[in-house]
Amino acid sequence: MANWDEFFAKEQAPANLKEVKSTINAFAASHRSAGRDIVFVTSGGTRVPLEENAVRFIDNFSIGTRGASSVEYFLEQGYAVIFLHRQGSLQPFSRNFPSHDILDLLQLKDLPDGSNQLEVNPCKVAKLSKVLKMYRQVRVSGTLLMIEFNSLFEYLFLLRGVAESLACHGPNVMLYLAAAVSDFYIPSQSRPQHKISSEVPLQLNLVQVPKMMTPLVKEWIPRAFTVSFKLETDVNIISKKARQSLAKYSHQNFANIEFKLNANINLVVKVVVSNILQTRKKTVVMITPTQERAIWMSDSELEAGQEIEEKIVADLKEMHQQFIASSSPRASNT
């Protein structure tokens, strides 16, 4: 048994898995028949419980900025978006108004009769109107489907479930895997049932989470356009690590594709977006089997409130469209 199969056999699936899969099937079918491509965005950090009745967890830094902002740009680009995000992490649209700023959005106007009227702070009107307009369009078109996870286990079961449900839509699906997924966990059989005692020093024995990219691109959804993110803190190793990841999972062994590819077409099937923790909002490197290209933000762009995700998404959309065109039977050598 592969180590990922063992993982899924031993850990508990989320109770809503079946329901999520049927929601995805209906969402994807209706948007594909309306001619929309689909992007599956993952976002936020996974939580690893230390106990069965979990009081303590191992967590990570990610609050889901990249995922939530990318969703807005994918929606603008005409995609139908499935957003698998950590509960409580940032969400598209509302992320523009952090909860600590919410009271600054509003103001009380004093009326002549001594009462007050609540109104939007004039200096926030432009931003709020822009976001509200986008939000309303998305609500009307139904192009955003939100799914929550909390633990590493929920995330991985849902990742597999959503990927399998989308597999029938072939190259018209993009996977955009921005979640920060734990590399280590405590298997169910080793997790203590109750709260770990604080009377002795704690020694944790964590095991490695199986690398799910392998079954993802080989078994669950082999014909999708796959984008994964690679995060490091050491600039000296990032490029090597990202290239290793690309080589290892890159990707569709072409035997899986039923039609023959035109030999002249340079088909990019897998992109690794590499980023450094400290500079991730300013620069990323897009790595494909044939290219390594930086996307970066100038200081003036950042000062103007522009976001790197807008450029990343535009770049990926172009590659995805080429991928779809190259994957169509008409592009094949018959």
Given the rule CB under 6 A, which residues bind ligand PAZ?
A: 62-66, 178, 180-181, 229-231, 275, 280
Nearest to 249 by CA among 296, 287, 205: 287
State which residue, 66 or 160, has the beta carbon closest to ligand PAZ.
66
First vs last Cα of the chain: how many Å apart?
38
State which residue, 31 or 251, has the beta carbon closest to ligand PAZ.
251
State which residue, 37 or 309, has the beta carbon closest to ligand PAZ.
309
State which residue, 171 or 215, has the beta carbon closest to ligand PAZ.
215
Taking the complex as a whole, the smallest distance from the CB of residue 63 to ligand PAZ amounts, in Å, to 5
Taking the complex as a whole, the smallest distance from the CB of residue 245 to ligand PAZ amounts, in Å, to 9
DSSP string, 199-265: SS------EEPP-THHHIIIII-TTSEEEEEEEES-HHHHHHHHHHHHHHH----GGGSSSPPPTT-
Instruction: Answer yes or no: are the C-beta atoms of 245 and 226 closer than 8 Å.
Output: no
Please state the separation of Cα 33 from the chain's center in Å: 24
Q: How far is CA 238 from CA 165, 241, 297, in A?
A: 32, 5, 19
State which residue, 252 or 275, has the beta carbon closest to ligand PAZ.
275
State which residue, 65 or 326, has the beta carbon closest to ligand PAZ.
65
Taking the complex as a whole, the smallest distance from the CB of residue 313 to ligand PAZ amounts, in Å, to 13
State which residue, 70 or 327, has the beta carbon closest to ligand PAZ.
70
Residue 211 CA to residue 178 CA, distance in Å, equals: 15
Taking the complex as a whole, the smallest distance from the CB of residue 95 to ligand PAZ amounts, in Å, to 10
DSSP string, 90-158: --TTGGGS-GGGHHHHEEEEEPTTS-EEEEE-GGGHHHHHHHHHHHHHHHHHT-EEEEEE-BHHHHHHH
Taking the complex as a whole, the smallest distance from the CB of residue 152 to ligand PAZ amounts, in Å, to 12
Taking the complex as a whole, the smallest distance from the CB of residue 61 to ligand PAZ amounts, in Å, to 6
Q: How far is CA 19 from CA 27, 102, 161, in A?
A: 12, 34, 10
Taking the complex as a whole, the smallest distance from the CB of residue 24 to ligand PAZ amounts, in Å, to 22
State which residue, 149 or 229, has the beta carbon closest to ligand PAZ.
229
Taking the complex as a whole, the smallest distance from the CB of residue 263 to ligand PAZ amounts, in Å, to 34
Tally of CB atoms within 10 A around 181: 18
Nearest to 324 by CA among 15, 123, 84, 79: 79
